[in-house]
Amino acid sequence: MTCSTVSFEARDREFVLAVVRKFLRDDSRVEDVTQEALLLAFRFKSSFRGECAYHTWLYRVTWTTVLRELRSRRRGAFVDMASVGASRLVAHEPTPRDQLIEREDRLACSRVLSKIPVRQREVLVLRLDHSVAETARALGVTVANVKVRAHRARAELRRQIGELAA
């Protein structure tokens, strides 16, 4: 199948919708992300060279769109449809309510983290930006030790958060 025979039929939309549903748990965004993936596939249909199956290519386009959505959520931003080709993210201005909630969350996290033993806390903090091996080197411990400390720290976090919620 060459790019001239790429067609966007109802079964293609159902395929994309099924892929998006696998990865997104937010039903309110599934339709939007499906539409974005189909628009992106249509826009870049000339990139389909026939080296792989059409649905493999469509899956990859869809996965890329889902990944962009997940990353934009993590960054607290949204994708500007006018700049999809440039993959530029536009920052969302937080409202005073958002700022208050974020501040309260930070304080609660700080309180919970302060109750965790220092060795476990430093593993959690280092693991935010580093691999297990890098964390082990930085702390001068084994990879297994980093994994054990991280496991214990997460268990303690769950316990502390459970106490806060109760």
Same domain, 52 and 105: no
113 near 123, Cβ under 8 Å?
A: no
- Give the pLDDT score at 83: 46
CATH assignment at residue 144? 1.10.10.10
Domain range enclosing 60: 3-91
123 near 146, Cβ under 8 Å?
A: yes
Distances in whole angstroms, Cα of residue 157 to Cα of each of 108, 116, 131? 11, 7, 20
- The pLDDT tens digits of the residues spanning 58-116 come to 888 888 888 888 777 665 544 444 444 444 334 457 788 878 888 887 787 778 888 88
Distances in whole angstroms, Cα of residue 117 to Cα of each of 80, 104, 108, 161? 43, 22, 17, 15
Same domain, 83 and 52: yes
Q: Looking at the 3D structure of the chain, how many domains does it have?
A: 2
pTM: 0.42
Percent of the chain past pLDDT 70, that is, above it, reads 81
